[in-house]
A and B are shown apart, each in its own frame.
Chain A
């Protein structure tokens, strides 16, 4: 919303990582409309349900179109919008519970299609809005409100999952670095195909990981965040597997597959092949 709406009563907690992701997305979209000369209204932000999904209401400045739908279905809603209107820039914003648990079934099909959208996943390792249940990225053994004696399920490695499913652009970022994150989101939006920017976006209330990510020299905690080296070859899938299996929080473009047609490219090719018939011609074919 462009101006403060007194009726809108949702708030992120102080220090929530999602503030930084919102800022980064605003930077990336502003840069994009400037670069392409398009209007902000040609951007569509499809949001999932959870703390992260509220981002779509909290964007400041010129407003894109938004769709705040139902839990887990942001990807297929975005698929509908993109295939209806390939000219639009479609961005998904979702959390780890929304994207990887209830919505996990939708990642594979978009990867196989190389659907030309960018998904920004805010991973805080917990269900925040429902007050602290375990999510797919919560570590094994963690006590949460839904795992009072410790989580008995291993956490997933989202970046490795995306690689394995064939997502054609994978970046890893941190909400505490809005400017570099904006650059990754901009690259994701520019990438022709399915891009995921997976962001560590800590939950200060239920799973505060700032110290783990940034480190604390006084306590002798080493930062887990690390920059991908400049010589990382993002087109090399094996190198990408090396990155996502090396632990910590890598920052940068992990993998980018170039030159692969998108679903709308292939759809356009198909139109060349399919014989175009009018409604009248179709009806005439049934005539006795």
Chain B
């Protein structure tokens, strides 16, 4: 039987190489032209604790982690118990024969470590597993042998051991005479591809847009951005540095943005909370800066290593007083790159703070994406004041060029309400004027692109952020099955593209899949006079497509039956 799609989950204990195995499989498969995506969920501890990572391999672009498992690789008995119910009928469970064989006809025991030792390299158990997997879906072992050759180029001993491990795993699985199908040969995507994670793509987007200055504080799941910047944001005029708190981070960005630099940080929910006052200062003093919030679950420490989309309202209104912060939320790993570019450009263009909302599931997801052409990336820079002294920095109703220290036009960037020259004032008419000035600048950001499919339908599906993948998959299935539904999507959550908002307002119902309890995006849409209802989930895990489809159909039927009050 030919299959086009293969989902394998590696489950075990932290430190057993679960993530490495999944990523190695993804890397090997993508290097021969398959589309891949990994999904990881970790315990919040360094060693131990149940952990699993899933790899999906397909002959066409992968949108979601995959609902059902074709193969579960169980590295211990707990992993078998915790995950075996998600293996589809006809699927296979590869388990370490070190632990007692489960009474399960799908189970195949493989002595992972013993075979690795036989291959001559105790650390090659991952290759034993990959060899066994190759047999199960009838993938040519040569794919993986080539991968090993390239990965360990020049280290002949290691290559030999790893190739031996692949073969031993393959042979061992062959003895079972079980196969779950033949994965069709890859259709190599056109153009060059990257294998990259969300956090890395965001970082690259910001660097491509000309990022100068990064300060940050370690916090899951945003830490990889700090590490990437510390390593790579180097050279003349660049600065990357770990500071003592998120309060220092936002203050540092304020100082650097004021001094003319393109500045950003990445954090997660708790850090966003600490930055609240500083983001308000950036809004009123008109200092460009970018804050990335890689969302995790819950308030306070919450679920540091699980995924959720529950910071939307906090991102729209992170600070006290009248503020409305521009928010961009990429929905795929590829969009993380372009969202990073756009967010930094927006902050420079309107001279103020921008929040980019990512989330744990995107941050740690490795995926193949078309390689961005840096020659096509537009990097915007704020308009700099070049006149003489005596300048009125905050004059006019929209934007005014920004003086940079060392140059002309010295002024006071002021967090108190101020007049045109930056001096503190309490005059009612000045507060009115300056408040209107700040809000008017948002008009400069109304050029965001959006997606529309079947726009004539009165009921629409519109998700946001990382729920995009499962939502597209559900949407495409539903259309194929004959359901009538429009599709809308944008990364630009605030301001929403005006033309999109106008269309949404004409709908009988906009259905919003999102990972939070309160239905934060649909309540935002309702505040903008859109009839919207959410499909919520708050398990710390992404949507499953099957579940999503059922709930979309139910809401759409309820709307047609007049049972949705929206």
B234→A274 contact, CB < 8 A: yes
**Given A64-B410, A73-B251, A87-B406, residue A81 in contact with residue B259 (CB < 8 A):** yes
Stretch at the interface among B119-127, B423-431, B436-444, B495-503: B423-431
A267 to B: closest C-beta gap in Å = 7
Q: Which residues of A have CB within 8 Å of B244?
A: 105-106, 108-109
Question: A66 touching B254 by the CB < 8 A rule?
Answer: no
A131 beta carbon closer than 8 Å to chain B: no
Interface size class of B (residues with CB under 8 A): 35 or more
Within 8 Å CB of A57, what residues of B?
Answer: 412, 423-424
Contacts A57-B424, A73-B278 given; does A85 touch B259 at CB 8 Å: yes
Q: Which residue of A lies closest to B414 (CB)?
A: A68
- Would you give the shortest CB distance from B355 to chain A, in whole angstroms? 18
> Is A83 interfacial (CB 8 A cutoff)?
yes
Tell me the chain B residues, 186-244 only, with Cβ under 8 Å from chain A. Answer: 192-196, 200, 204, 207-208, 212-213, 215, 231-232, 234-236, 239, 241, 243-244
Q: What total of A-B pairs shows CB separation below 8 Å?
A: 196
Map CB proximity to A onto B21-43 as digits: 1 under 8 Å, 0 otherwise.
00000010011000000000000
Q: Identify the closest chain A residue to B366 (Cβ).
A: A286
Query: B1-39 CB contact bits vs A (8 Å, 1 = yes)?
Result: 000000000000000000000000001001100000000
Cα–Cα distance between A237 and B224 once the two chains are bound (Å):
41
| Choice from A10, A42, A69, A84 contacting B256 with Cβ under 8 Å | A84
Contacts of B192 in A (CB 8 A): 287-288
Question: How close is A288's CB to chain B, nearest CB, in angstroms?
Answer: 5
B374 adjacent to chain A (CB < 8 Å)? yes
Q: Is the CB of B255 within 8 A of A46?
A: yes
CB proximity to A under 8 Å, residues B517-538: none
Identify which of residues 73-128 in chain A touch chain B, using a CB-to-CB cut-off of 8 Å: 73, 75-85, 87-88, 105-106, 108-109
Residues on B with beta carbons closer than 8 Å to the beta carbon of A283: 194, 204, 208, 371-372, 374
Scoring B257, B414, B423 by chain A CB atoms within 10 A of each residue's CB, the highest score goes to B423
From residue A42, how far is it (CB to closest CB) to chain B in Å?
Answer: 5
Cβ contact of A85, chosen from B30, B251, B406, cutoff 8 A: B406
**Proximity string of chain A (237-279) to chain B, C-beta cutoff 8 Å, 1 when within and 0 when not:** 0000000000000000000000000000001001100111101
A80, A106, A108, A283, most chain B CB atoms within 10 A: A80
If the complex has contacts A84-B256, A286-B195, A288-B31, are A5 and B248 also in contact, measured as CB distance less than 8 A? no
Q: Find chain A residues with CB under 8 A from B31 CB.
A: 288
Q: Is A168 an interface residue (CB 8 A)?
A: no
Chain A neighbourhood of B257, CB < 8 A? 80
In the complex, how many angstroms separate the beta carbon of B368 from the nearest chain A beta carbon? 7
Known contacts A7-B423, A65-B410, A287-B371; is A271 also within 8 Å of B251 by CB?
A: no
Complex CA gap A65/B410 in Å reads 5
Residues of A within 8 A of B425 (CB): 7-9
Given contacts A57-B423, A57-B424, contact A277 B232 (CB under 8 A): yes
Q: Which residues of A contact B411 (CB under 8 A)?
A: 63, 65-66
> A66 — which chain B residues lie within 8 A by C-beta?
410-414, 422
Chain B residue, CB-CB nearest to A263:
B241
Q: Are B204 and A84 in contact (CB under 8 A)?
A: no
B245 contacts A by Cβ under 8 Å: yes
Q: Which residue of A lies closest to B244 (CB)?
A: A109
Chain A residues touching B, range = 35 or more
Q: Mark A33-69, 1 if CB is under 8 A from B, else 0.
A: 0000001111010100100001011000001111111
Q: Is the CB of B207 within 8 A of A77?
A: no
Q: Is the CB of A80 within 8 A of B407?
A: no
- Please state if B285 and A288 are interface contacts (CB–CB under 8 Å): no
Which residues of B are found within 8 Å of A13, using beta-carbon distances? none
**Using Cβ atoms and an 8 Å threshold, which residues of chain A touch B413?**
65-69
Tell whether A70 is near chain B: CB-to-CB under 8 Å: yes
B410 near A79 (CB under 8 angstroms)?
no
Most A Cβ at <10 Å: residue of B234, B236, B255: B255
Contact with B along A1-39 (1 / 0, CB 8 A): 110010111100000000000000000000000000001
A271 to B31, CA, bound (A): 34
Scan B261-304; emit 1 where CB is below 8 A from any A CB, else 0.
Answer: 10100000000000001101100010000000000000000000
Cβ-based interface call for B253 (8 A): yes
Query: Is B389 close to A, CB under 8 A?
Result: yes
Contact, CB under 8 Å: A80 / B278: no
- On B, residues with C-beta under 8 Å from A are 27, 30-31, 192-196, 200, 204, 207-208, 212-213, 215, 231-232, 234-236, 239, 241, 243-245, 247-248, 251-261, 263, 277-278, 280-281, 285, 368, 371-372, 374, 389-390, 403, 405-416, 419, 421-427, 430
A residues lining the B interface (CB < 8 Å): 1-2, 5, 7-10, 39-42, 44, 46, 49, 54, 56-57, 63-70, 73, 75-85, 87-88, 105-106, 108-109, 267, 270-271, 274-277, 279-280, 282-283, 286-288
Q: Could you list some 29 contacts between A and B, CB below 8 A?
A: A7-B423, A8-B424, A9-B425, A40-B410, A41-B405, A64-B410, A65-B405, A65-B412, A65-B413, A66-B413, A66-B414, A68-B414, A68-B415, A69-B285, A70-B277, A70-B278, A73-B251, A76-B251, A76-B252, A80-B253, A80-B256, A83-B256, A85-B259, A267-B239, A276-B234, A279-B204, A279-B207, A279-B208, A283-B371
